[in-house]
Amino acid sequence: MGKSTGYDGAVLLLDLESCLGAQPKLQTVRTKVPALMAAAQPVERVVAACASSRIELDRRAELIRLGVDLHLVGDERDAADIALLQVAEAWAGKGCRRFVVASSDGRFARLAQFGRLEVLVWESKSPPLSKVLKAAGQVRRVPVPGTRIPVQSSPAKPAHQPLLTIVPDGSRDPVGERPGVPGRMLGDWSSKAAVTFAAGVLFGAGSAFGSAMVNRAVNRGI
């Protein structure tokens, strides 16, 4: 039998606003995302998308810490769904044949043409019967975890380096191309550095002026 060149793993797609809500709390990210990841196993990749204006910096950092590839999009309607579909179709081109989706949006029904489609829904909710649920080979109802943050919340180290992707739109996201350092932090550091530099210059100038006055006084015999 010849060696397979296809991709045999699976991809979990998280529509964050759909499965976590807009502006999710940090506790929600820490508890619900691992629950969805556990329910989807086995998967090789976890990809999430959300409008950059609807998720805070610490929530973004937590997703990346959990091993999630995060795609930040603009506020255009369905932008997150479109970004996830583009990722899924790219993986389908690599040979991926299993897609797990945490969303009830009907757009994801088209992934069934590439292989097996599975949908995750919260056990406490009854999502409307949409195209994606009808097209799914399996619908998994996931128990809603408590909001208490686990004592040991550190996930296993992912097999790949999680990514933060900024999808360009009309308004550029201030996080920019430095996924490891939030833009706000860079701004604060730059401001503090500028103040420190200015203070150093003034202090140095004052010291030089004071030394000059002392030397002048000594020369005059005061």
* Banded pLDDT at 211 (limits 50, 70, 90): very low
Q: Is 213 helix (H, G, I), strand (E, B) or coil?
A: helix
CB atoms within 10 A of CB 34: 16
**Top-confidence residue, 67 or 194:** 67
Average pLDDT of the residues in 139-153 = 69
* 98 Cβ contact list (under 8 Å, min separation 6): 9, 10, 11, 43, 115, 116, 118
Enter the tokens of residue 173.
């996201």
Which of 98, 92, 88, 114 lies closest to 14 in space, CA to CA?
88
**Separation CA 135–CA 166 (nearest Å):** 30
pLDDT digits (tens, 9 = 90+) for 39-87: 999 999 999 999 999 999 999 999 999 999 999 999 999 999 999 999 9
Q: Which pLDDT does position 7 carry in this prediction?
A: 53
pLDDT the model gives residue 213: 44
Determine the pLDDT at residue 146: 78
Alpha carbons 134 and 124: distance in angstroms, whole number: 20
Count the residues in the chain.
222
